[in-house]
Amino acid sequence: MTTQGYEDELRSERDYVAGLYARLDAERARVKGRYSAALRGTGGTPMERDFEVRALAKEARRLDVADNGLCFGRLDAVSGEHNYIGRIGIFDEANEYEPLLLDWRAPASRAFYVATAASPENMRRRRQFHTRGRRVVDFTDEVLGRPGGGERGDAALLAAVNAPRGAGMRDIVATIQAEQDEIIRLEHPGVVVIEGGPGTGKTVVALHRVAYLLYTQRQQMERNGVLVVGPNPAFLNHIGRVLPSLGESNVVFMTTGDFVPGLRVTAEDTQEAARLKGSLKILEVLAAAVADRQRLPEHPVPIALADVTVRIDAETAQWAREEARASGLPHNEARAVFTEILTWVLTERAIGRIGRGWLTRKDREAWEQLRADLLTELAGDDEFTAALDELWPILTPEALLASLYTSRERLRAAGGDEALLRADGDAWTVSDVPLLDELVDLLGKEKSADRDAERERKDQAEYAAGVLDILVSREDMMDDEDHLFAQDMLYAEDLADRFVERDTRELAERAAADRDWTYRHVVVDEAQELSEMDWRVLMRRCPGRSFTVVGDLAQRRSAAGATSWDTMLEPYVPGRWLYRSLSVNYRTPAEIMTVAAALLAEFAPEVKPPESVRACGVQPWSRQVGEDELPSAIEEFVHAEADREGTSVVIGPPGVPGAVAASETKGLEFDAVLVVEPERILADGPRGAAELYVALTRATQRLGVLHRGPLPQALRGLAATETPAQAGCQRSA
């Protein structure tokens, strides 16, 4: 194409994209106008108006996120037709809804990501737009279906991976690669495992797969929403903008520490305690701990009633306990069975003593009246209530688990390991969360809470009935039809519903606050760190077993984490899970990956490192320092990076000033990384090598290492330097 021809084409494309933005603005104004009108509207029922307001608000958000990078490419078919590809779909309503812009998730857009010279998908050209704001800056063309055409998107892809990192992860709708697109569009209804080494894009692929599923299965998916589970809050904050940037908002982001709403994680377990709590064997300990609280009296417990004193003996309590356990009800709900047996025995004994000489079972009416009186007396008797609380107490998950952790006797009785003992029972750890969640089901609801809810419901119904009586009393002001409606069709409980404040929170907010909420789809990132108990929680949250699982077994640090995907998943979804791998490293340049691969070969020789798609031209470096030199060397790195565009981080073991742990950077990426004292990271337990591997692979441009002791053998290939500032200027030959 001549220079003049290119300029003419560029003007034409700019005009077309400007026209798309004009339609976007018009549609946005129309939707916001309808939204404002719906807020003021009085027509229809409250539920209908609420539904319309929510739908219009969601549509307005979808249109807002399309403002940046609305259209990023064009696909020309062999037939001469062409389609523009973008973030959302735009159609010409005046021309039989002809597509003016195809949503990147639409089937017709797939060729934009997978067509190659060898397999052109009936396409002859792919055009990639480079935009700044709403303006098309330039474009590049790739001719398909002829020798030498090459793979798609190299220029756009390299521009994206070389760009300085910002505050959060960006979407990749303009640069999705063929192996990524295949996974994104998988229609598998069960579990899809995406494994890949550092920088392979597995997280962003999983998020785009969610966006694709929400596009193709919106009606089913939006009703229950999607849960995204990540390793830490920093990671969730990093990825949190990807789905909203794609127009999807019905998504809940959590760490495993957030599974129990309202619980605060404030402590950290030892490796051994985490391993024990993460194993399914802990289920036996929890069940035994609950059973241990279902006691028998050591001595008969006297209950003094008005006319007689009766006793709860061990034999009676044992019968009641056996019946309660045999009911199959959770502990708190089974208390009613336990209580029923005790009261029956106690009232039988009391009646026999009170009625001795004058009352027989043949006098059924008198017998039952006396029983009713005794039952009323027992219900209000403090001694009887105290005995029940001692023998079959109402328990909460937090109280039960805290008392277990702080009592050597209770722990021994439940068959638990002493490694679980701790001084502060309420200092919750991440590993406690699935145990507390399990106890919710083992214990069941507190009957007192049920009674309170029922009492509130009854009060509302009585109030509504009073309102109804007032309406009916005004029958002289109503015609026959109105009277029929008020008297025969409007019931007190129906009216009570109108006085209950409706929940107007967005789906994501409601779901996050509800332990019993179930999701249509769940994304699990850094899944190799999840324990068997964590997986039990997640399977309860998603009865349909629809998951996208993301991880890298070579990066596992948790003692309770996965050693194989089969072990974790097969018990829940036998034969219903697929495995896909990503092999290309889009983040870590070849110079840095060479260093990380040497470490990987030592601790996981069976794992093949991902192949870097690029080189950055900057060699990673190392520098040995004394203890007194370490703070100033770190400060020098920080100052040097402050003058550069992009992000940086210092990663080190506990106690290093200004450093974060490698586990806190999982899933994150930075332009520059300084790893401090790798020898100490490596020595930190059996998974120290995986921790160091994570640290080394966070950088997209520059990597430096400061060490006080001897450099680990795997890192001996690093170039030595005098200062971090000098190292930043070193380049490969």
Indicate the annotated binding residues for ATP. 196-203
Is the Cβ–Cβ distance between 681 and 688 less than 8 Å?
yes
Burial call 517-532: b when 16+ CB within 10 Å, e when fewer: bebbbbbbbbbbbbbb
136 pairs with which residues across the strands? 131
Element (H, E) at 521: strand 521-524
Is the Cβ–Cβ distance between 192 and 577 less than 8 Å?
yes
76 pairs with which residues across the strands? 82, 125
Tell which residue, 166, 234, 167, 246, has the closest CA to residue 206. 246
The tokens for 678 are 């790798």
Q: Which amino acid is at 546?
A: S
CA separation, residue 539 to residues 513, 542, 573 (Å)? 18, 5, 10
The tokens for 270 are 């030892």
Residue whose token pair is 């640290």: 695
Is the Cβ–Cβ distance between 631 and 661 less than 8 Å?
no
Residue 396, burial from CB neighbour count under 10 angstroms (0-12, 13-18, 19+)? middle
**251-255 and 301-304 as β-strands: parallel, antiparallel, unpaired?**
unpaired
Which residues does 120 contact at the CB level (< 8 Å), separation at least 6? 78, 144, 145
Residues in binding site: 196-203
Residue whose token pair is 């521009």: 159
Which DSSP string do the residues of 394-422 spell out, in sequence order?
---HHHHHHHHHT-HHHHHHTT--GGG--
Tell which residue, 693, 649, 697, has the closest CA to residue 672. 649
Burial call 681-699: b when 16+ CB within 10 Å, e when fewer: bbebeebbbbbbbbbbbbb
